[in-house]
Amino acid sequence: MRPVKDRVALVTGSSRGLGRVIALRLARDGLAVAVNGIHAQAGALQVADAIKDSGGVAGAFEADVTDERQAADLVAAGAGLPICQHEWRR
């Protein structure tokens, strides 16, 4: 099993509520986090910024996971989240 610090978590609905809490916790545990919020992009950016401000790796996305193409693009981008601190946005 790879070390946690070498993993990326893709958390849908993470711009608010329980998804936000999960994203912040995963980041605190050392995972890079892809934050997704379809109707709350500002919230997704805030969560990603909070993760980065605390020394973590994160990026913010706006994708509708009920749309197959957007979901595939989100997964591809999340998989490309560099552990080496690059920032990405959709």
Neighbours of 21 (CB within 10 A): 13
Minimal CA–CA distance to 59: which of 3, 28, 6, 79? Answer: 79
Give the amino acid at 15: S
Indicate the pTM of the whole model.
0.81
Tell me which residue range forms the domain holding 63.
4-79
CA angle 64, 66, 68 (to 5 degrees): 95
What digits encode the pLDDT tens for the residues 13-57?
898 899 999 999 999 999 999 999 887 788 999 999 999 999 999
Distance (Å, rounded) from C-alpha 53 to C-alpha 68?
32
CATH number at residue 19: 3.40.50.720
Q: Is the residue at 23 inside a domain?
A: yes
Contacts of 24 (CB under 8 A, 6+ apart): 47, 50, 51
